[in-house]
Structure 1
Amino acid sequence: MKAASPPTLDSPPAGAERSARTAWAFALLGTVQAVLIFTLAALAVPLPRIGAEYGLRRADLILLNSAYGLTFAGLLLLGARLVDRHGARRVLTAGLLVFAAASLAAPFAPGYPTLLTARFAQGTGAALLAPAAMGLLRALFPDPLAHGRALATWGGLSLLGATAGTLLSGAISASVSWRWTFAVPLLVAVAGLALGPRLLPATAPPPPHEKRPALDLTGALLATSGIILASYGLVLTDARAWSSAAVLVPLLTGAVLLGAFLLAELRAPDPLLPPRFLLRPRRALALAAIALTATGTAITFLLLSLHLQQVRGWSPLENSGAFVPFAVALLCSSRAAGPLIARRGTVAVTATGLAVGAVGLALLSATGLDPELPYALGLLPGLVLLAAGAAAAFAGAAVLAAADVPPRQTGLAGGVLNTAMELGPTVVLALLLTFGGDARPLAAAGAGLGLTALGITTLRGRPHRLRSPSAARRTT
């Protein structure tokens, strides 16, 4: 008997077939988004082994670990504009090709320069993929209610990817080799290239009667150069003093370029990042929540991984196992976030998630780095609360950040959301390195989450519940 083939886009499907294709398409896009963040975290645990194999200095390891994030964050706004200008599916295909080629080259790297170049190239592909995936999400769920529910799930995928990166990279590097960690992004990229044309909706650039958004090369060059240089300067603070030329030159140059970018955007007829897009209090606070939640989890992964391996003497595999309860709590909270938003609204869920995450970070700062306390008493409670709160905060904030965005700016929304997710940890991680490896950064991140929760509770207007139109009419 002939096996059934996946649904295609040759003819409009109906009923159950349409629902099945939508579910498969969402699963594909969600997997791509999660793997982008998985790739960001994948080298953190096996980094010491890579350094020993290649004979690298600490500064080389820092740059290797940050290279992916530098180009990812730096090119996101340009990737977003390409999505809005040329269509999400075209840009997704281009991003998958770049991402797959880089992921294939990395494990065969004979030396540090090749591996570093591959990491930069992976980040370039990711900067195209992230906004394209969000653009396709809008095309896949054109109904506002369905799109809001999809965004609520989407918000937790990045945290899930980061957690999977920490869990799997330790297990893979302990059992075989760190080079096999690149098999995950490679397989997902190949699957995306094979299944995308059959599952994903076709998206096209604006029709001829509508004006295409300008590419804004000046703004793209200033933003990309500024973000990369400033982030690179911050990354170097681990190995160099803040007053050294190696830190000050890229840091100040990047700051000047970003200032020039803001001035250029105010004058540009079709700016890469319209200032009004960020000035809405609801969106600004949502982006702050995303940045701070990503920062809190990144700090937790880094500090606890260093503590468990260097202070407690745990193996990379044991280190990964310590985060299994975090992953379980994250999955449970992500699953509950959508229904909670439907009943309580995005503001309430986001603020509550931030508050719970703040309590988790406070517990970790108080007891998490105490080597005298057992794992179940010192680390576990804070990890579970942080995961539960972060997943809810991400889900609600993703819906808030993308609310009321017109279809022609879906790529921009995806680019800005992912930029907040990438730049937050980069900036605060540099401050963490200044403080040192104690628990103070955890307490500071918890305070930031708490203050943002208070800010979000002051938002006025509709609660942005995910309701059907008929339910909305019954409540008026």
Structure 2
Amino acid sequence: MKYRHTRAPFTRARALPYRRTPALVLLSLLQFLIAVDVTVVNVAVPSIGARFGADAASLSWVVTGYTLVGGGLLLLGGRLTDLLGQRRMFLVGAALFAAASLLAGLAPSLEALVAARFAQGAGEALASPAALSLITLLYPEPAERARALGVWGTISAGGLVVGVLLSGALTQLLHWRWIFGVNVPLAAAVLLLTPLFVRPDGPRTRSGRLDVPGAALLTAGPLTVVLGVIERNGAVLAAGCALLAAFVAVEARTKNPLVPLGFFAHRTRAVANAATVLLSAALSATFYLLTLYLQNVLQFTPLQAGLAYLPFCGALLAALALVSRLVTTFGTRRSALLGLAATGAGLAWLARLPDHGGYPVDVLPGMLGVAVGMGVGLVALQNAALLDVDASDAGTAAGVQRSVDQLGGSLGLAVLVGVAGAATGAGAGFRTAFLWALVGVAVAAAGVWALRKG
């Protein structure tokens, strides 16, 4: 099949097999960098605080600001993708992410660093739904799409672990500023190579105004909620909830919503996105809390704590290598249930963490269960969340899926870490947080179980 010189809408016919693979690699590479920046600052936070003389509360925004702004703007990114084109928005987002990474590495103050982290999140919000919708359109068949999403998920999830290792190594051997600087040449390579393997966008058939008020409310709402949780301020928390309620009201009345509320009339997609919120909340909190347990209770050094995640990474990669076969054989519903069950088993094990435990017996088994559940569950739910989409709404569907993943993880992290901090005793807080995470995963499994079609 040959390409024509007309700018036809993006379809599978426009992506020859030999071009699809390098395109998938490039799309996944940027997502890898995005995932790295979710966790790369965790180990470096003490060094950043020492440089700027900042307290723990101020430093928390360096960690959560990135994911909150990214998650809040992802729906706007999905809408822009549908309106302006997948490749175009992917390149714009990649350029913004690269520029923000450079600014973060050169930041002269904490305020400048947090602002650069916000800009990184905005770059992700433009690039991530565009990348996911491009993959959806490049691989339209369920089986091959599951394989492609497995590759994308493998590289992305690997970035979370690499972020911890990279942060410890660069901070100890070079300087914490390099954790942001390494993004620049790799993002530049993505910008240069993507036009060679991803065809230009065709003429856009959708029009309409952007829902800027909705995007502002969806960003400000979670930021305010997390601020209320961190500060334990009920008034601020209530204000955040009010902003989220206002977002729903705006979406119901505007002519050009970020996502039409009717989008969630598709039952499978609605349940998949809701389950993703709860699963992502559990996974983000688990990753963060285990890092604290390893360093504060087991007295691991930052680099040792990063190396302790190598078995987690191995189990995750193994699960991701099998998930496409599981989806093909058992369907998305049963595969998602399997992933949620594995996550629940891991959380149940971690919910018994002793005050003075050991890594091989008390941490590793639960860590492996969560890793398998993450690899299978998130990809299966992601596949279900993109069910029945086409070129007209692929960006919206991808934006919704990525948004609930990001915001679910950020809000879950804030809530469960708050629960852990409120408890007394070296291990009591960890046990309580993991128990509540287990409850959330059980609710997600109940919702998926209620779906009749796999």
Q: Same fold (TM over 0.5)?
A: yes
Q: Which secondary structure state, in structure 2, belongs to the residue aligned with residue 221 of structure 1?
A: helix
Provide the rounded CA distance (Å) in 1 between the counterparts of 2:383 and 2:176. 36
1:421 aligns with 2:412: no
Distance, in Å, in 1 between the alignment partners of 2:251 and 2:166 is: 41
2:383 matches 1:399? yes
User: Aligned Cα RMSD in Å?
Assistant: 2.5
Q: How far 1:386 sits from its partner (Å)? A: 0.9
The partner residue of 2:274 within 271, 288, 291 is: 288
Q: Which residue of 2 aligns with 1:216?
A: 211
Whether the aligned pair in 1 keeps the contact of 2:284 and 2:412 (CA below 8 Å) is no
8 Å Cα contact 2:95-2:187 kept in structure 1: yes
CA distance in 2, matches of 1:141, 1:433: 38
Matched, 1:242 2:226: no
User: Measured at CA, do residues 274 and 187 of structure 1 come closer, stay the same or move farther in structure 2, by a change above 3 Å?
Assistant: same
Q: Tell me how far 1:139 sits from its aligned partner.
A: 3.3
2:341 aligned to 352, 355, 358, which one? 355
Instruction: Tell me how far 1:144 sits from its aligned partner.
Output: 5.0
Distance 2:430 2:139 in 1: 45
3-state SS of 1:439 partner: helix
Give, in angstroms, the shift of residue 178 of structure 1: 1.8
8 Å CA contact 1:222, 1:261 repeated in 2 = yes
- CA drift of 1:316 comes to 0.8
2:221 aligns to what? Answer: 226
Alignment of 1:297-446 (within 5 A): 297-367=283-353, 369-371=354-356, 373-435=357-419, 436=421, 437-446=429-438
Say which SS state the counterpart of residue 389 (structure 2) adopts. coil
| 8 A contact 2:280–2:412 mirrored in 1 | no
AA of the residue aligned to 1:201: R
Q: Distance in 2 between matches of 1:193 and 1:324?
A: 30
Give 3-state SS (helix, strand or coil) of 2:352's partner: helix
Moved more, 267-276 or 329-338: 267-276
Write the distance in 2 (CA, Å) between the matches of 1:65 and 1:421: 16
Give how far 1:339 is off: 1.1
Please list the CA deviations of residues 54-111 of structure 1 after superposition, one character each: whole Å capped at 9, or x if unmatched: 2111111112222211211121111111111000111111111111111112112222
Which residue of the partner structure matches residue 467 of structure 1?
A: none
Residues 144/202 of structure 1: CA separation in 2 closer, same or farther (3 Å cut): farther
Give the match for residue 425 of structure 2.
none
In the alignment, what sits opposite 1:453? 445
Select which of 73, 76, 84 maps to 2:74. Answer: 76
1:122 to 117, 120, 123: 120
CA distance in 1 between counterparts of 2:239 and 2:270 reads 26
**Secondary structure at 1:353's aligned position in 2?**
helix
Letter of the 2:228 counterpart: G
What CA distance in whole angstroms lies between the structure 1 residues aligned with 2:254 and 2:355? 53
Contact 1:139–1:203 under 8 Å retained in 2: no
2: distance between equivalents of 1:329 and 1:184?
27
- Structure 2 residue aligned with 1:63, among 61, 64, 82? 61
Q: Deviations over 1:221-258 (max 9, x none)?
A: 33333333334433xx2xx3324xxxx23x33332232
Shift of residue 428, structure 1, vs aligned partner: 2.1
Offset from partner CA, 1:288-330 (integer Å, 9 cap, x none): 3322222222212211211222222221110101101000000
CA contact (8 A) 2:66 2:117 kept: yes
Paired residue type of 1:439: R
Q: Which residue number corresponds to residue 274 of structure 1? A: 260
Q: CA deviation digits over 1:16-40, x for unaligned, max 9?
A: x943321111011112122212211
2:282–2:412 CA contact under 8 A, matched in 1: no
Deviates more, 1:89-98 or 1:168-177: 168-177
1:437-474 CA distance string (max 9 Å, x none): 4321112112221332232122113x2xxxxxxxxxxx
CA contact (8 A) 1:135 1:410 kept: yes
Q: CA deviation at 1:10?
A: 8.9
Task: Give the counterpart letter for 1:414 in structure 2.
Answer: A
Alpha-carbon distance change, 10 to 178 in structure 1, aligned in 2, over 3 angstroms: farther
- Structure 1 residue ranges without an equivalent (≥5): 1-7, 464-476
Whether the 8 Å contact between 1:82 and 1:91 is mirrored in structure 2 is yes
Q: Which runs of 5+ in 2 are unaligned?
A: 8-12, 422-428
Tell me the distance in 1 between the aligned counterparts of 2:412 and 2:300.
26
Structure 2 CA distance for aligned equivalents of residues 153 and 420 of structure 1: 21
Q: Which amino acid counterpart does residue 315 of structure 2 have in structure 1?
A: A
> CA separation of 1:135/1:141 partners in 2, compared to 1, >3 Å: closer, same or farther?
same
Residue 133 of structure 2 corresponds to 135
Q: Check the 8 A contact 2:68/2:219 in 1, yes or no.
A: no
Larger CA deviation: 88-97 vs 283-292:
283-292
Which deviations, in whole Å up to 9, do the C-alpha atoms of 1:334-381 show, x marking residues without a partner?
A: 0011011111111111101100111001111213x542x331111111
Q: Which amino acid aligns with 2:32?
A: A
How do residues 122-201 of structure 1 correspond to structure 2 at under 5 angstroms?
Answer: 122-201=120-199
Is the contact made by 1:78 and 1:220 (CA closer than 8 Å) also made in structure 2?
yes
Counterpart residue number, 1:28: 26
Secondary structure of 1:438's counterpart equals helix
Alpha-carbon distance in structure 2 between the residues aligned to 1:145 and 1:334: 14
Q: Would the alpha carbon gap of residues 134 and 446 (structure 1) be closer, same or farther in structure 2, given more than 3 Å must change?
A: same
Deviation per CA, 1:384-427, whole angstroms, max 9, x where unpaired? 11101111001110110000123211111111111111111222
- What whole-Å deviation, never above 9, does each CA across 1:183-218 have from its counterpart, x for those lacking one? 343233111111111112322352xxx442432233
Cα distance change on mapping 1:404 and 1:213 into 2, 3 Å: farther
- Cα 1:81–1:120 change in 2 (3 A) is same
Runs ≥4 residues deviating over 6 A: 8-12
8 Å CA contact 2:70–2:121 kept in 1: the answer is yes
Q: Which residue of 1 aligns with 2:424?
A: none
Secondary structure of 1:178's counterpart equals: coil
Tell me, yes or no, if the aligned pair for 1:153 and 1:338 is still in contact at 8 Å: no
Normalising by structure 1, we get a TM-score of 0.86
1: distance between equivalents of 2:16 and 2:188?
24
